[in-house]
Chain A
């Protein structure tokens, strides 16, 4: 069974197409990245899956249940962290976690571990939320989403506001959950963290699905940027597979290398290279490439 399936999921607000015929499948036990710039339709998709919005057409199924007809049953089995989570300022962190835990109807068996990893001390939890920093609020948001051990966690921009140390602690939590076989739907516009934590990624833009790929496959398609300084005749790279956009000027050669790098390395082995930089490929480049393709 798939954790999430959407079939032609569409949401229009009058003439505005917030989401257009989205087809994605999230497998059980994977961390699925949902990537796109602000306004791409990520939050709309999540809200459709949770039953906050009604689809204009198409359907969404979460843990085998219909997102419209069975939304209460779905919400009993998931954990949700909204983007820019809002909390009750007049309550303490502990009171909020207690309240949301009670509403979940399941014991908060994971709270202590999560608080420990995210460095939320009992003293901190006893303070009013109005005195919390943005990062501390986000930590409470993460704990409330995961404290009851949901089968599926839907996290919208989860690392927003966390400092790098806490981001790492959060990624460790995701690793633990993944090793336990739990499914995580990870919505983000931060490419580096999707690259770091996700198994697969769906890329959306302007409400449309641009691509769904394994992260590894996406990275394999990436472009590496090569910059070499030469002391003599530049190597002939025009016919080397995967080498693109070659420019030579003032003893300097720049190009891009896609896919397998070995043919390129073989071609430059005898070149009079003074200095060589191969910039590691980032998901961002693959992402931008996909966007360019979608625009064409």
Chain B
């Protein structure tokens, strides 16, 4: 871990971090309010059988319970896009982007090993993800209080959900950073990371909406964030272990590849 590099990373991202975290907090705030206001009506609509039952539990979330609405907020495309600013965008550009711009060369001419450089960026990325997810959940708690339904939320489980969500989005960040250290230019690193996250999301959503495709869900990392279950008191250590395993594998790749690869002159 390199202090100056970490501080530099935070300084370079601080405005983006504030904007994204604020947006996530607002998004997180809205879901419990929508649940409190329209939850029973939405349930009534689904009870008519107008929509397939699978639609009622999109990605493991729903709008009929507070826990479900918080889970829905976490898995909704808006949250995915916002968290992807750091778990995909920052991760993919952290090394490949600097390399493409030529700024990596100046930084790496200092006495910083590539392993320390990578690990510092990974820690910074996890911090950004943690702040993002924390903002969303803080918004949800605030929204629940605002809507007068906070008593339905088991607050002691929120930190567990925070941890589980950090592991999920952190795993995307780890994959993104592994791609970033593997390429000399940003587009391939970004393409690989974005493609990976979109594929994961597609598998999970497809499995949740189409019963015949349910077997695909375990192949998606989103499957290992069962937010509603965690909030209602069922934290699956296995899910955390899977996500930790993916992070460890991505780190192993990056720590093996980055110190060994040639860094030619920026194109």
Contact = CB atoms under 8 A, between A and B. Distances in A.
B263 A103 contact: no
Contacts of A87: 103, 106
Interface in B79-122: 101-103, 105-113
Contacts of B110: 75, 100, 103-105
Nearest to B265: A43
Interface stretch (B1-9, B22-30, B50-58, B204-212): B1-9
A53 B114 CA distance: 12
Interface range on chain A (Cβ under 8 Å from partner): 20 to 34
Contact of A47 (B103, B260, B264): B264
Contacts of A47: 263-265
A82 B8 contact: no
Interface string A77-88: 010101111111
Contact of A75 (B2, B3, B109): B109
Given A47-B265, A86-B266, A87-B103, A52 B111 contact: no
Interface in B1-42: 2-5, 8, 12
A54 interface: yes
Interface of B: 2-5, 8, 12, 101-103, 105-113, 260, 262-266
Interface of A: 43-44, 47, 50, 52-54, 72-73, 75-76, 78, 80, 82-88, 90-91, 99-100, 102-105, 141, 144
Top 7 nearest A-B pairs (CB, nearest first) are: A86-B102, A102-B4, A76-B111, A103-B110, A80-B109, A52-B263, A75-B111
26 contacts: A43-B265, A47-B264, A52-B263, A53-B262, A53-B263, A54-B260, A72-B113, A75-B110, A82-B102, A82-B105, A82-B109, A83-B265, A85-B102, A86-B102, A86-B105, A86-B106, A88-B12, A88-B103, A99-B4, A100-B107, A100-B110, A102-B4, A103-B4, A104-B111, A105-B110, A105-B111
